[in-house]
Structures are given as structure tokens and as C-alpha cells.
Amino acid sequence: MLTISDVTYRIAGRTLLDKASLSISAGHRVGLVGPNGTGKSTLFKLISGELEADGGEISLVAGTRVGMVRQDLPEDDTKLIDVVLAADTERNDLFKEAETAEDPQRIADIYTRLADIDAYEAPARAATILAGLGFDEAAQNSPISDFSGGWRMRVALAAALFRQPELLMLDEPTNHLDFEALVWLENYLINYKHTLIIISHDRDILNKAVTQIVHLDQQKLTSYTGNYDQFETRRAQKAAHQAAAFEKQQKQRSHMMEFVTRFGAKASKAAQAQSRLKALERMELIEAPLASRTTVFRFPEPEELQSNIITLRDTDIGYEKGKPILKRINHSITMEDRIALLGANGNGKSTLIKLLSGTLDAIGGDVIRSTKLRVGYFAQHQSEEMDVTISPFELLRVKLPGVAEAKLRAMLGQFGFDKTKSDTIIDKLSGGEKARLLFCLMSYHAPHIMLLDEPTNHLDIDAREALIQALNNYPGCVIIVSHDPHIVECVADQLWLVKDGAVEPYTGDLDDYRKLIIDQRRGEKAEARAANKKSKEKKAKGASKNAVADAEAEVEKLTQELSRIEREMGEPKAVNNQKVMNQLLADYDRTKTALEKAEENWLEMQG
């Protein structure tokens, strides 16, 4: 389906792809991985035609529809369901043409095509996708202007999925999803019938939803069969084999060069020395294995605090007095606790995190904190509040006046910032680098508790693994909100479910919670189908009443028509003109037959 042949692409003097090649067959589900900044999103733009390669060729099977998540959604009063339906431009164009078409053959072709593409089932399919991504019926019929950026990205994702293109390309689709929507998306992609290429740093979705991994590294594309875990194993084996082969070749070259150096001047050994030199020249060199890129996180260790560090007693949490989002919460938290918060977006997970961080006051009940407690709070919105016109080093110097430069640079070094990156203007940093800077700022004072609200959104897989290792080495309390199941499973030993205004321990594991979500979705679908059936029956009943009335009106109309014909047959114009009489007789027979059928139809409806 897709063939990439010797493609080269450069931007601002930097080469992202250098004679890269790849072939993807129809129906394959592919995960595109690689460190941040290597050009994965750029490759998507090259495939879609948004960018043009500097060399090589990208070819798709003729007629292939390519689908990507749009960035140009309307910001008006268009309903969400209509935004999604508008993504199928063929369907919309056919309906518009049907309103004005006059040629009978063209009209027939239009309705045949509409039937072929299931155009009449489209609203139900669009509603199902939106529901899976977290939009209830009320939200689906609300204007898109009512929703924030993250929710609009969900709408854009829904529109891309709704189109069902032959080639679907998704760039980090899970970034704006909660765990519930992620479970739905995983199942949708597992069952996707066409070709899928997904860029993701979410290890879980790469293990469950794809059957092929394409690794973009060192400006090349390398394909591996299987999921992400299998790819990592094979890549490690490949690197080990390369390292062994390189070492063996280097020893061989060293031995040959030693012979040339030792015996090259001796006449008796000169021919052998020359032979070895030629062999060295012909030898195809094995490249030295490149050191794997690793991101390091090191959180400073706080002193231990005894007993509870935070206690909530009958605490009401929200933003407006008398309107709590979470009600009468009772929990105690210690330094040993490692808690992940579960629950759909909008249920109050981030609100609870804000209360624990101290950035939000309770609107009822008590919040008791240890007097020595230091809190570290990470949230994505914090990157938008930083002064991006200064460097990380300058920002840390503002936060910690009087601290020696060497110590500030050492702090930044614990999160992967060398001197060059430490002195780079923040606005020029990548999303992952800004996230690492937030971790540094959050933890410079060695907090006793770290509150992490979606900490992995801009981290690549290697950085996520480094974060997991750092959190597991950190001796304080961790409370995390994350849609990434891998970090939850590796870091948390308690699950709290935030739902329906309550915060309760969840006794199962993530697999149990995933099954619970799937069962709930199935139940919701069954209820929706039952409600739809009831609605159809009600409409059918109403339609039946209307049909009886229509049938009765038809009988009355034909009866009056028959009476009119009988009157005209007795008038002189018909009696004295055989041609007129013959026409009236024919009309009479036709009308009488129609009346008999109409009466039979009416009687059947009465029964």
C-alpha cells in the first residue's frame, strides 16, 4: 500500500531522513517510534503530501484515502456530531447534490452510492465514536465552541476515525485521553480493518494495537515484526550482535596492522605484509554501536516524616461554595503511599490533586497537613506559565537566589540538562525538555510528596522509563494521575477511584478496571440500543396512526373522484360524444380499482 524509497528530507540545514526506505502492506497496524525530534511527525507530513521530500519517492496505491487528525476545527456553534459527520466529505457532497440533481440516472447513482457507503447509518456511527471518546448525548449536541483545546482534540480524533480512511495516521492520539477513553481507543484500533500508522510513546497501546514497529533513528527507517516489547528485545539483540562483531573486527584489524608494522620492512615478509594491507583496504567496516540515548532523572531525597503527612476529614472539594465536585472525603496519606487516581476526565482527579498541593482550598471539612511538609506539584499547564524568554539556568537562579552557579547546574544535570541545554532559551526547548525542566523545578527543595498530573504527555519512551526508575528510587509519597497504564502499574501500589463525587480505594488491578470499563460501555450500548428501539417503536406507533389517517383520506379522495366521474357520464357532453364517454369509462374503471385497493388497505390497518 505504502512504499518509501530512498527518501531524503532536510530542514534548516539538518537532515532528518537520509535515503530512508520502508514498505507497509495493506491492513497492517504499524507503530512509528523513535526519540523526540528525529522526524516522526515530519514523515507523516511527507506521506500526506503536506511536505515534499528533497530526494527519493513516496508512493501510495492509487485512490487511497489518507486520514489524519485535523488541526483546523471550527470554533463556532457547530454541534460536535455535525463536526464529525462533516469529516466524510463524499457523504456530504452526495446529499447536497441529491437536493438539486434532475437527471434520473444521476439521482439513481447518488442514492446507490449513499447506500454503498452506509450514509444513513453515519449519524449512529459518529455518535458511537464520540461516546467512546467521552462525549455523552448532551455533549454531542453542544457547540464545539463550548469545549477546551484538549476536548476539541478528542473531537478531531473522532472525525479522523469516523472517515475510516484506507490509511489512518495518528500522531500521539492518547495525549488528551483519560484511561477510559484510552481503553475504548485501544479496542477500536485493534479491530481497525484498514492500514494504521500510529506515533505514540504509550508503551501499552504499542503492545496491544500494532503488529509492526518501524524505528526511526539515525535518519533511517527499520521495520520489526511484532509489538513494542518484541521490538525492544530484537533491537537489544541486534545491538549486542553488532557490538560483538565490531569488537571481533577491531581485534582482527589490530592483529593485521601489528603484522604489517612488525614485518613490513623485511624482504622475506614484505609480500605477506602487502597482502594484509590490501585485505584491510577491502574489509567492509562494521560501524561501532552507538551509545543508546538515555534520559536520567534524579529526585533529591527528603528527610522522613512520621505518621500522616495529609489527612482529609469530611472534606468537600470544589471551586464554588455549596457546589462540591467531591463530597465528604476521608483519607490519610503517609510518605510510604504510592497512589494512582482512576476515573474519567471531569470526575475530579485534577481537583483532588490541586487540593493536596495547596493550590485549592477545601470548601468544607478539614485538611490537616504536617507542619514540615514540602510538596512537589507537576501539571502540564505550568509550562505555559514559565517565562520562556530566559534559559533554564536563569529560571532556576530566579527561583533560588543566592545558590552557587555550580549547584544550580548540578540540579539541572540531574534531569539531563548539560551546559548547552541549560543556557538555551526555554522557548527553543522541546516539549519533553520543558517537562524535564518542570520536574527539576518541582523537586529542587526535596519534597516529601510528589503530585503528578499527566507527567508523561511529552516524554518519549526512554524518558518515561527513566521517570519510572527515578520515582521507584524516590523515598517519598507519590500520587499520580496518568492515562499511561505502564507507569501506573510500575509506580503505584494503590488505586483510588474518583467517581460520582467520591474517592474510594479500588481493590482490583488495572486489568480488572479495564474489564469494568468495557463492561460498562457494553451496558451503555445495550441501554442505548434499547432506548433507540423504544423510540423507533414509538415513532412507528405514531407513524401507524398517521398511516391509518392517510389511508382513510385516500379512500375519501377516491370516493369523491368516483362520484365526479359518474356525474360527468350522465351529462350531455358525454352522452352525445362517444370519445368522451370512452375516456370517462376508462377513468371510472381505474378509479374504482384504486378505491377497492385503498379500502382493503384501510381495513387491514383497522384490524
pLDDT in tens, 72-125: 777 788 899 999 998 888 888 888 888 888 776 787 788 888 888 888 888 888
Q: Alpha helices of 191-316 — where are they, by DSSP H? A: 203-208, 228-263, 270-282
Domain residue ranges of the chain, discontinuous segments joined by +: 1-65+165-226, 73-161, 244-282, 308-507, 519-606
3-state secondary structure 311-379: EEEEEEECCCCCCCCEEEEEEEEECCCEEEEECCCCCCHHHHHHHHHCCCCCCEEEEEECCCCCEEEEE
How would DSSP label each residue in 514-550?
HHHHHHHHHHHHHHHHHHHHHHHHHHHHHHHHHHHHH
How would residue 24 be classed by pLDDT, with cut points 50, 70 and 90?
very high
Q: Which CATH superfamily is domain 1-65+165-226 in?
A: P-loop containing nucleotide triphosphate hydrolases (3.40.50.300)
Cα-flanking dihedrals φ and ψ of residue 64, to 5°? Answer: -65, 125
Distances from the Cα of 287 to the Cαs of 290, 312, 567, in angstroms?
A: 8, 59, 106
Distances from the Cα of 413 to the Cαs of 163, 406, 469, 540, in angstroms?
A: 46, 10, 17, 71
Instruction: Tell me what pLDDT residue 309 has.
Output: 93
How would residue 331 be classed by pLDDT, with cut points 50, 70 and 90?
very high
Which grid cell sits at 588? 371510472
pLDDT single digits (tens) 230-274: 988 887 777 776 677 777 777 777 777 776 776 666 655 566 767
Looking at domain 308-507, its CATH architecture is 3-Layer(aba) Sandwich (3.40)
Instruction: Tell me what pLDDT residue 76 has.
Output: 82
Burial per residue of 20-42, b for 16 or more beta-carbon CB atoms within 10 angstroms, e otherwise? bbbebeeebbbbbbbbbebbbeb
Determine which helix (DSSP H) or strand (DSSP E) holds 171, and give its type and residue range.
strand 167-171
Distances from the Cα of 464 to the Cαs of 158, 198, 295, 298, 314, in angstroms?
A: 27, 18, 9, 13, 36
Distances from the Cα of 574 to the Cαs of 485, 570, 577, in angstroms?
A: 89, 7, 5
Q: How many helices and strands (H and E) does the chain possess?
A: 22, 18
Distances from the Cα of 522 to the Cαs of 36, 161, 516, 527, 529, in angstroms?
A: 37, 20, 10, 9, 10
DSSP label at 401?
T
pLDDT single digits (tens) 507-522: 888 888 888 888 877 7
In CATH terms, are 1-65+165-226 and 308-507 the same topology?
yes
Which grid cell sits at 357? 498541593
Instruction: Tell me what pLDDT residue 385 has.
Output: 77
Which grid cell sits at 375? 510538596
Instruction: Determine contact, residues 462/456, Cβ cutoff 8 Å.
Output: no
Instruction: Tell me what pLDDT residue 179 has.
Output: 85
Q: What is the CA 596 to chain-centroid distance, rounded?
A: 62
Instruction: Determine contact, residues 344/498, Cβ cutoff 8 Å.
Output: no
Instruction: Tell me what pLDDT residue 461 has.
Output: 85
Q: Which amino acid, 337?
A: D
Answer yes or no: is pLDDT of 337 > 90: yes
Report the relative pairing of strands 449-453 and 477-481 from DSSP bridges: parallel
Instruction: Tell me what pLDDT residue 46 has.
Output: 92
Instruction: Tell me what pLDDT residue 247 has.
Output: 76
